[in-house]
Every structure is written in C-alpha cells, then in structure tokens.
Amino acid sequence: MGKFEGYRGTFRCVDNRWLGTDEAKELHEVEGVELHNVHEHDAVIVGAGLAGMYAALEIKKAGFDVAVLTKVFPTRSHSGAAQGGIAAALANLEEDHIEWHFYDTVKGSDFLGDQDAIELMVREAPLVIFEYEHMGVPFSRTPEGKIMQRYFGGHVKDFGRGKPVLRACMAADRTGHVLLHTLWEQCVKYGVRFYSEYFALSLIIEGDVCLGVVAWDLINGGIHVFHAKATCFATGGYGRAFKITTNSHANTADGVAMVLEAGLPLEDMEFVQFHPTGIAKQGILISEAARGEGGYLINDKGERFMEKYAPDKMELAPRDIISRSIWTEFVEGRGIGGERCVHLDLRHLGAEKIKERLPQIRELAMKFAGVDPIDEPIPIQPTGHYSMGGIPTDINCRVLADGKSKWLRGMWAAGECACVSVHGANRLGTNSLLDASVHGKRAGKDIVEYLSVVECFEPLPMDCAKRAVDKVNWVLNADGPERPSELREILQDNMYELCGVFRNEEDLTKMYDIIKDLQKRYQNIHIEDKSKVFNTHLMEALELGHLLEVAEVIVAGALNRTECRGAHWRTDCPGRDDENWLKHTLAWKTEEGIKFDYKPVVITRFVPEVRKY
Amino acid sequence: MAEYIFRIFRYDPEKDEGTKGRVQEYKIEVEKGWTVLDALNYIKWHVDGSLSYRRACRHGICGSCGMTINGKNTIACEQQVADLGTQVITVEPLRGFRVIKDLIVDMEPFYDKLYAIKPYLITYTPPPTDKERLQSPEDRKLLDGKYECILCACCTSSCPTYWADKEFLGPNALMKAARFVLDSRDEGWEERVNAIDDKHGVWRCHTIFNCVEACPKELNATRAIVELRRLMLKGRL
Ligand SMILES: Cc1cc2nc3c(=O)[nH]c(=O)nc-3n(C[C@H](O)[C@H](O)[C@H](O)COP(=O)(O)OP(=O)(O)OC[C@H]3O[C@@H](n4cnc5c(N)ncnc54)[C@H](O)[C@@H]3O)c2cc1C
Ligand code: SF4
C-alpha cells in the first residue's frame, strides 16, 4: 500500500472532463475571472529555477499534466547566476565520502540543520549529478573524462579534521547557468507547459487543502486561476530585502509572503547569509577565487586589516568572519573615504596572473565597477546572498501547516524558498544548487505518488481569486502620495544597516518600527502606469508589499533570537546558546504582530560542538 | 557625476496603437560605474515609473535586458554609460521583434526558432547507471564559445537576413544546434538535420557577422554556422 493510500477517494470528484460544458462551467466558475482564464492541471509549480523545473520534469516524465508558472522566462531565473559549483562527494579526483559531506554540512549549519534531511540530501547528491550529466549538462571534465570538481569553502576531508576536498562539481564558472539551461531544455523535450511571465499572487486554500494559485498575466494583464491537485512553490530567495545583494531584481519574497498571508508559518527567517565580497554599491558577487589567488583586503589607511581579525588565515578566513571584520572597519571609520567600502586589491598579482586565473572577475570588475583590477583595486562590501529560512517542509517537501508535522494537503515547497532544513543557521557554498535540485526532484517524486492515488479535483471556492483581484485593483487604483520605489529604498537601506552582518536589540527595534511605518505608508502609494499590458510598475508595487511583510518576520525573528549562531550575529549576546536556542523558529503573522513557536532540531549523528575552522 | 540625456523609445499599446511609438527624453545625473540598466532603473524609480523594460540578474547572466543602445545591440546591464562616449544616449527595443511595450519585445518567435532545432541532448545509447558518461576534455572543449549563450537575442535581432526572412532560424538557434551536434554525447543528428539543412537554415546565412559583433558574451555564431555547413558537406548528405 502506497503512502498516499489513505487519501484515495477523500476528494469529492469533480473532473470537468467527465461533465458537459455547462456543468463544468458551473464548477469552475470563479468570481471576477473569465472562464477561459481558469486553468486546470494535475500539478502546478510556481518557479522555474532548478527546484521548480526539476520537480516539473519528474512529474511530466511520469505522465502527468504539469504546468510551471514563472515571473521571468525560465532561463532567466536566478539559479543561472551561480558560478562556483554544486556539491557531491563523487571522489572523481581524490578520496571523498558522503559521510564527510554530511558532517561538513551539519557543522556549516552551526548545528541547526536537521540531520535526517541533510543525510538524505548528501546521499542523493551523486545521483542527481549523474542525472544532470545524462540530461546533457556540459560539465568541465577531468583528464579521464569524468566530471571535474574544485575546492570550496567549508568542504574538507575527514570529518572536519583534514584538508580541503575537491567536491564542487563544476562547469567552468558557469555552473548554475548550465544546470538551469539543461533543465529547461529537458522540459522543452518532454513538453512541460510553461506560463512564462505570470506573476503568482495568492494561494487557494480551502479548509486544510491547497487547490492551486491565482496569478497575474504580466504580458497581457488579467487574473488567471490555476486549479491543481498538487501545488509546489519553488520561488527562490528574497535578497531584495537588502540594499546590497547578489540576488536578482526578481528575488522579492513573493512565495514566502503568499504563505504568510495564508496564515501559515515560516521557519528560521532570521538567518540570512552575507557574502564578504560584493562589488560596492552594486552587491554583485566577486567570488572567493579572488582571495584564493592571493587578493588583499585593504582599508582606508592602506592596512591589510585581516591581520587584526584572523592573523593566520588572513583573507582566507571563513565568509562570515571576513564579513564581520569588514563591517568592523566600517563602523570604526576605516571604510574607503568613510564609506561602506573597502578595497580588494589584486594589483600585486600582476597583469598576467589576473588575466590567466581570474578573467571572469576582471570582467565583472570592469563591467560593473568600472575598474580594471590590473590598475586599480576593486571596491567591495558585504552583500546579502542567501536566505536559509523559508516555508517549513518535511523531508518529502510537503508544506507543514503547523510548521511541525501537519501537512497542508496538496502543497509542496522546494529550493531556496523552502526550509527543510538542510542549511540551518548558515549554508555552505555549493550546497544550495544541490538543495534546490535534490528537493525539486524529491517534491516531484512525492507529487507523482500523490497524483497516482488522488484522481479528482476538488471544486474551487467561488471567491478563490478575490484576494488577488483585490490586490491588483487596489494597486492600480491607488492614488496616494507615496512612491513605491522610495519606500523600497528606505526598507532596503535600513535592512542592510540595521539587520545585516551585525545585529543588536536597539537597531532591530528601530528597524521593526521603520517597517511598521513603511507598511502604513504603503497604504498610500500610487503607481504611474495604470495600464494592463506588461505593467512593471504594478509588479514592483506588489513585490514591495511582499518584501514589507517578509522583512517584518526577518527582523522580528532576529530580535527574538538572543544568541549568535551562523549568519545571525547579535553583538549584544555573548555567543551561541544551545541550552535555549538549539531549536528552529516558527513565525506566524497575526493581528497582534509576529507570533513565535519552536521545534527541536533533528540530531541523528553529530552532537553539537563549537564551530571552529 | 555627469549629466546625460537619455532618448528612450516609448510605446504604450493602450495609447500609441497604430503609431510607430515615440521618443522621450530624460536628463539625469549618472554616477561613476553606472551601467545603462542602472540609469534606466534610476529613471523608473525616481522620474517616470511607467518606463517599461525587462531586467533580472543585472550582471550579464540572465539575458533579460537585451536592447539597442546608441544603435548597437547589447545587454543594458553590462554597458557602462561612460564607455558609450556620448552625452546623448539613445535606447531602443531590439529590432526585428514586435514591440509589446517600450523596450519590451515579443520573444516568442525567437524561442520558436530554438524549439525547431530540438534544443536538447538527444541520445539512444542508455547512459551508465549511477555514473556519468565520459567525455574527454578535448571533446568538451568543442562546446566552448557556444554553451555560454544567455538567450538575450542580441544576435538574431542584429541580423539583416533575419529582418528580411522571419522564417530564418537565425544565428542563435543555429549556434545552439551546433552546441548539440558537436557534443560527443549527442545522437540526434538525424532528427535535427532537416531543420538546419533548409533554405531557412544554415544556407540562408550570408556571413555578414553582425551577430558576432552584437553578442555580449563574445560568442561567434557565424563560425558555428560555418562549422555546421562543413559537417553537412562532409558526407553527411
Ligand atoms: C550570485 C550567486 C551565486 C551563487 N552561487 C552558488 C554556487 O556556486 N553554488 C550553490 O550551490 N549556490 C549558489 N548560489 C545560490 C543558488 O544559486 C540558489 O540558492 C538557487 O539557485 C535557488 O534555486 P531556486 O530554484 O530555489 O530559485 P531560483 O532559481 O531563484 O528561481 C526562482 C523562480 O521562482 C520564480 N518566481 C518567484 N516569484 C514568483 C512569483 N510571484 N510568480 C511566479 N514565479 C515566481 C522566478 O521566476 C524563478 O523562476 C548563488 C546565488 C547567487 C545569487
Ligand atoms: S549568441 Fe550571444 S547574442 Fe546571441 S542570444 Fe546568445 S548570448 Fe545573446
């Protein structure tokens, strides 16, 4: 008996394919939406990054009807920006073990990651990589023709005791790009139905079952209802809550905000990773390789300031330590010209080495900072990079309605928007492409099993589009004095300053008040584009609404968690506090503000110890 | 800070239908290091919220912001304003495609050309279980200069042959075809060749090299087309 057998027959069968058109019409009638804009698919995936397309492919290959909604054309999803690699203990070049990868991930998470989920992920990692290869990914190759692997921070031999290990599978410095394009190619091959440039706006939840989503067609304008037996969110990260970020303009927390609005909890939202070397003012990522090749970090006084913070490792200390060191320089007035900026100096490496070993970094510096690192140092600053928290799911990617054990039937989530949790308080480099791929696939498989048992659609509630219709109409008609872009800039500037690399109660309280004020001002916005066709101003205003909701949860969570763990560093707390805080945060939005609950960390193998490198 | 004038093509289908669109001027202060996308964002966020264009990653990998800047196709996020060398900068939508709104064009015909060449690895030999297929570094190297494409459409949009013949597969789809044909793992020649070996396929290209000039990733679609022709003449036909 399959695991979903209990659900057989529990749906009231209304499959319009069995009914005459008039009755079908009645069953699909939704207030405020034209009938031809009500779509029915076995499964609807929101998001076409690695997580979303992997899920879709699994479902399509099993013969079910799956549709993928995405705000941007699939190959423009932010998974494509990943450069470094995707982790798997293939041992293609040297000894490596799944167990070592398991340990490194647990340690990297500062022991907040759930070890059952981590173990599953690292075990499935090689299979996913081989499947990617079979799909056609142009991986770089070893001399024997195997998949090439490189070093990456935090991945070492022998349960944290040994030297770095070659574990990051790579395609030059375009790993995310090739994985994303290959998945899309496979989706084309198998005929996955895409709804590109559709902006999902709200979930349809009736009782304790998810019945699909409501979306806005960006190109033509108009509300569409997607009626599904299975709905999966794969909407990615939300780095756009911060002024300086490596994330795409599209990473605006829509998915997590929709979940929050539906009265469901989010998990561990206070954990946001900052990468030390983003191009100043832009946030664009300059990869670890620049420091790996011997780049110096220099302050306004011309000092190699890492001397003070990590005299042994210097510029090669872990990401979070470097981010905090740079920030200390800022706070103590040694940023370049007193600004939020220090120099990454490569000049001493010489033109030849820079051209040969760091061509991509040189190109990025020239194109985006307007400096050639052969002649000038690159201005850099820490940049918001990755969101560890998200929609709570179990190891099969089923969304947990209570955050703990109760499945919201019909709904899954995978990738950066979800929190399984495999990254805990801090993600290791190259583990998130893996997370998105493994869990996209796992979600897809679980959905296939579900669809094989659940044959029918449950009727849509007549008012299921109301929230989305109201949202859009409200923004289109709003005529207050506030500009959404200005509110967004206030949010992003302050989030970066007050809820960034370092946090403390005073700053966070201030930030919370700023958000409350911005939420009020948001009620008085206006947009200058009132049209229906490709209204990007409408889109930006809706995205801002989502960011404001989710930022509140990030800040409230950061205020609430009075310890330092992984990426969450409170200057007013002495350190990690396992006694009180070795637990996941669950946060709900209520009338009275953010409400918290907790759940224990799953510890199967490795007991928490001090995270030292 | 320096002052620039941006002359931007505007077309609102609800107001400008039936017209050829119009040009709107924005005079703004540009900071050191700004790209054209930064300037467009500045205009949208501080001057005119109705200005419409696509953007996502803003660092040259998603391919969303292909447009024509001072007459040359490129992605706006990679074009430093200061490098253009003019105080007045014209920004127009990619040529050869239907304008949906302002700088946003209908990309469907561009994607359709890709679908036509079956843009995915085709294999019949089953892969080894729980292992990768082997591919030598030399074979892998054949894909360099092709697999990096970000589908920005700058190449196809710059191609006079495509302007004249909208059935022409165009440089992008043909280069993508070469990326698969030349992959040592691919067995899809038979399935792909009909589309490529067509009067709207490789033989249509007049090797004008506009596409090479336009490509922001410095890929050489013309060379890929020539390689495909060579393969066809070399006995496959
Ligand atoms: C610069 C950079 C470099 C990185 N390098 C690495 C690396 O080397 N290794 C590694 O492991 N990780 C890396 N990461 C992290 C990793 O790339 C991401 O965590 C991962 O790709 C997320 O995948 P995803 O499928 O969850 O989301 P994404 O790829 O971000 O996709 C999100 C999808 O959701 C869609 N979407 C969002 N909202 C809506 C909505 N409202 N309606 C409809 N669709 C919506 C979007 O259109 C998009 O298709 C990097 C990240 C960045 C920013
Ligand atoms: S070949 Fe170059 S110009 Fe053409 S779509 Fe690809 S990246 Fe763009």
Candidates A247, A248, A269; CA nearest to A257 is A269
| Amino acid letter for position A463 | D
**pLDDT under 50: residue ranges of chain B:** 237
Report, in angstroms and rounded to the nearest whole number, the Rg of chain A calculated over CA atoms: 24
pLDDT above 90 covers a percentage of chain A that reads 85
Contact A367 B147 (CB under 8 A): no
Give B233 Cα–ligand 1 centroid separation in angstroms.
43
Contact B14 A533 (CB under 8 A): yes
Two tokens, residue A512: 């919370």
Length of chain A: 613
Instruction: For chains A and B, count residue pairs whose Cβ atoms are closer than 8 Å.
Output: 164
User: Tokens 């801090």 map to which residue?
Assistant: A426
At A456, the pLDDT band (50, 70, 90 cuts) reads confident
pLDDT in tens, A512-556: 999 999 999 999 999 999 999 999 999 999 999 999 999 999 999
Whether residue A465 is predicted with pLDDT greater than 60 in this model: the reply is: yes
| Pairwise CA distance, residues A105 & A87, whole Å | 10
The residue nearest atom 6 of ligand 2, judged by CA position, is B149
| Pairwise CA distance, residues B118 & B194, whole Å | 11
Two tokens, residue A484: 């959404």
Two tokens, residue A313: 């490792």
Two tokens, residue A178: 């090739």
Whether residue A11 is predicted with pLDDT greater than 60 in this model: the reply is: no
| Pairwise CA distance, residues A195 & A74, whole Å | 10
Burial classification of residue A207, based on how many CB atoms lie within 10 Å of its CB (0-12 exposed, 13-18 middle, 19 or more buried): exposed
CATH fold, domain B108-236, is Fumarate Reductase Iron-sulfur Protein; Chain B, domain 2 (1.10.1060)
pLDDT for A413 = 98
Rounded to the nearest 5°, which phi and psi values hold at A187? -60, -40
Q: Give the closest-approach CA distance of A74 to chain B in angstroms.
A: 10
Three-class DSSP category at A290: helix
In chain A, which residue's Cα lies nearest the Cα of B134? A145
3-state secondary structure B126-174: CCCCCCCCCCCHHHHHCCCCCCCCCCCCHHHHCCHHHHHCCCCCHHHHH
Residues of A known to be catalytic: 319
Strand A391-392, strand A418-419: pairing: parallel
Give A514 Cα–ligand 1 centroid separation in angstroms.
28
pLDDT in tens, A97-112: 999 999 999 999 999 9
Instruction: Please indicate whether residue B221, judged by its CB atom, sits closer than 6 Å to ligand 2.
Output: yes
| Pairwise CA distance, residues A173 & A364, whole Å | 12
pLDDT in tens, A471-514: 999 999 999 999 999 999 999 999 999 999 999 999 999 999 99
Atom of ligand 2 nearest to the CA of B156: 4
**DSSP string computed for A549-590:** HHHHHHHHHHHH--S-BTTB-BTTS-S--HHHHSEEEEEEEE
DSSP A531: -
pLDDT for A415 = 98
B86 neighbors B44 (Cβ within 8 angstroms): no
In chain A, which residue's Cα lies nearest the Cα of B136? A145
Atom of ligand 1 nearest to the CA of A84: 8
At A19, the pLDDT band (50, 70, 90 cuts) reads very low
What mean pLDDT comes out for the span A234-261? Answer: 97
B21's CB contacts (< 8 A; 6+ apart) are B9, B10, B11, B99
| Pairwise CA distance, residues A101 & A124, whole Å | 12
Whether residue A84 is predicted with pLDDT greater than 60 in this model: the reply is: yes
CA A269-A271-A274 angle, to 5 degrees, is 135
A309 neighbors A315 (Cβ within 8 angstroms): no
Whether residue A589 is predicted with pLDDT greater than 90 in this model: the reply is: yes
* Residue A189 C-alpha from the chain's centroid: 27
Burial classification of residue A163, based on how many CB atoms lie within 10 Å of its CB (0-12 exposed, 13-18 middle, 19 or more buried): exposed
Maximal CA-CA distance, chain A: 79
Whether residue A18 is predicted with pLDDT greater than 50 in this model: the reply is: no
Maximal CA-CA distance, chain B: 61
Same fold yes or no, B2-105 and B108-236:
no
pLDDT for A10 = 52
What mean pLDDT comes out for the span A554-583? Answer: 97
Two tokens, residue A358: 């760091």
Sequence spans of domains, chain B: 2-105, 108-236
| Pairwise CA distance, residues A22 & A35, whole Å | 11
Which residues line ligand 1 at a C-beta cut-off of 6 Å? A 46-52, 69-72, 77-79, 81-86, 175-176, 198-200, 234-237, 246-247, 250, 254-255, 285, 386, 415-417, 429-433, 436
| Pairwise CA distance, residues A571 & A507, whole Å | 11
Give B214 Cα–ligand 2 centroid separation in angstroms.
8
Q: Looking at domain B2-105, which CATH architecture does it have?
A: Roll (3.10)
pLDDT in tens, A284-309: 999 887 888 889 999 999 999 999 99
Candidates A186, A75, A208, A195; CA nearest to A131 is A186
Candidates B61, B155, B51, B58; CA nearest to B103 is B51
At A24, the pLDDT band (50, 70, 90 cuts) reads low
Q: Using a CB-CB distance cutoff of 8 angstroms, which residues of chain A are in contact with residue B134?
A: 141, 144-146
Whether residue A593 is predicted with pLDDT greater than 90 in this model: the reply is: yes
| First-residue to last-residue Cα distance in chain A | 47
pLDDT for A1 = 41
DSSP B197: S
pLDDT in tens, A308-365: 998 888 888 888 889 999 999 999 999 999 999 999 999 999 999 888 878 878 989 9
- Relative orientation angle of helices A115-135 and A98-108, to the nearest 10 degrees: 120
Candidates B74, B1, B63; CA nearest to B34 is B1
What mean pLDDT comes out for the span A66-70? Answer: 98
| Pairwise CA distance, residues A445 & A449, whole Å | 6
Of A76, A185, A533, the CB nearest to B63: A76
Rounded to the nearest 5°, which phi and psi values hold at A47? 115, 130
**Which residue of A368, A378, A483 to mutate against B (max B Cβ within 10 Å)?**
A368
The residue nearest atom 50 of ligand 1, judged by CA position, is A82
A129's CB contacts (< 8 A; 6+ apart) are A86, A88, A90, A147, A169, B132
| Pairwise CA distance, residues A371 & A280, whole Å | 12
| Pairwise CA distance, residues B153 & B219, whole Å | 12
A44 neighbors A66 (Cβ within 8 angstroms): yes
A257 neighbors A325 (Cβ within 8 angstroms): no
